[in-house]
Structure 1
């Protein structure tokens, strides 16, 4: 498959409020060293030479993004996102159509556009992982995601009855075989028009879309799995901030 002329546009859904962090501001705007989590994330995408644009989907009442230095970068565009991740990605894909005029559904076309979707709260993305994912287009013309094989023993839980009705107990129901199980990461890379079509159709039918790959899977596509770095963590809980600081310091020293 020819890829030299295929443009790559990064999409960053950043309309969430990050309630699990227990912070007074959305988690993507928490400070991580000298700048915010989102700023680190955008730096990784902006600096990659094969990414032509970075479209950030924001909450309609976002008062923080415009204060970031990255907001004024020539590669960066902002759109209003939606209530769910899929709505935000779809809003960005609609803006992508306006920017590229790409309406081709031929994924083998050398002029097709690819959407690289990355979590706003994954600030430790390396250039080498982006390279690996982009290079995977030669093997996975249907698209692929970064992922990590499951290493730990996996347990399925069950909520058990407690003597105190106000207390719920979570117990182990069974041990799940970890063979062929992977942790899904981002970025996730798909031909933009196919992703847009499948996201739209899935949302119309009320399908629960947890990431871009799940929309493609629902449509009968089997995305590729590209092994990524373990330090590409998503900052979800307060403890993750310290871990992300350590990972960033290590990445910057390479």
Structure 2
């Protein structure tokens, strides 16, 4: 039996409305390169990765200018109106090449600072698991639950609470079945782990570096630039 292959999926069809920019956040300038170029570089150039599928909007007018648009190991697929549809489209495109027990790492296009050693740590922790797992950080702040008017209802016990990051790494067959099943049931999952949980499985959390941030708001962009500069100045990614 051959060793499983490793594939990556980057859903990048969103427009990033919270950034308040005419340019989708994945194409914003970050230290002289686009956000998505950093993201794809850290996945596609990893020695274990066999190929990457990027899901883009049909109206995307920026991708052709990206650094990896013509890379032979990268496949462009059509994204959907929600992240889950983009991931499902990429899984469907990957199906002819992937075995059921291959691994798929799904990573946010707007997480350009993920470190290689965190990817390596995720792989080492998950590759002997039957289902998979994801990077994240334990919650450190006091957590509050509010009502629809933002009035506090109660304080949530933070023990065993995690912030869910990416990559999220699962067996191809398990993830494909879980994503299809959830969407056919009308469940619009917000990440891949949610689909895996919906299917009755328990993925594991793997702690990663705190600088694996997702660019969501304008103030996140200079923070990501700072982290990338720090990584370049002697802290290898």
Q: TM-score, normalised by structure 2?
A: 0.95
**Partner deviation per Cα, 1:25-67 (whole Å, 9 max, x = no partner):** 1110100011110111011112210011111000011011111
**Partner deviation per Cα, 1:181-221 (whole Å, 9 max, x = no partner):** 00000000000111011100110111130100000000000
Partner of 1:147: 136
Q: Distance in 1 between matches of 2:148 and 2:67?
A: 46
Is the CA contact (8 Å cut-off) linking 2:44 and 2:52 kept in structure 1? yes
Q: Distance in 2 between matches of 1:95 and 1:159?
A: 40
Q: Distance in 1 between matches of 2:127 and 2:214?
A: 27
The DSSP-based 3-state class of the residue aligned with 2:182 is helix
**Partner deviation per Cα, 1:76-134 (whole Å, 9 max, x = no partner):** 11000111111100111111113x153x3xxxxxxx31110000000001100110111
5+ residue gaps, structure 2, are: none
Indicate yes or no: 2:108 matched with 1:119.
Answer: yes
Partner of 2:230: 250
5+ residue gaps, structure 1, are: 105-111, 161-169
The DSSP-based 3-state class of the residue aligned with 1:116 is strand
Aligned pair partner of 1:57 in 48, 55, 58: 55
Partner of 1:37: 35
Q: Distance in 2 between matches of 1:132 and 1:177?
A: 28
Q: 1:156 to 1:202 in 2, by over 3 A?
A: same
Indicate yes or no: 2:28 matched with 1:48.
Answer: no
Q: TM-score, normalised by structure 1?
A: 0.89
Partner of 1:220: 200
Indicate yes or no: 2:158 matched with 1:178.
Answer: yes
Which of the two has higher C-alpha Rg? Answer: 1
Matches within 5 A, 1:155-234: 155-160=144-149, 170-234=150-214
Q: Distance in 1 between matches of 2:110 and 2:50?
A: 21
How many residue pairs are counted as aligned between the two chains? 234
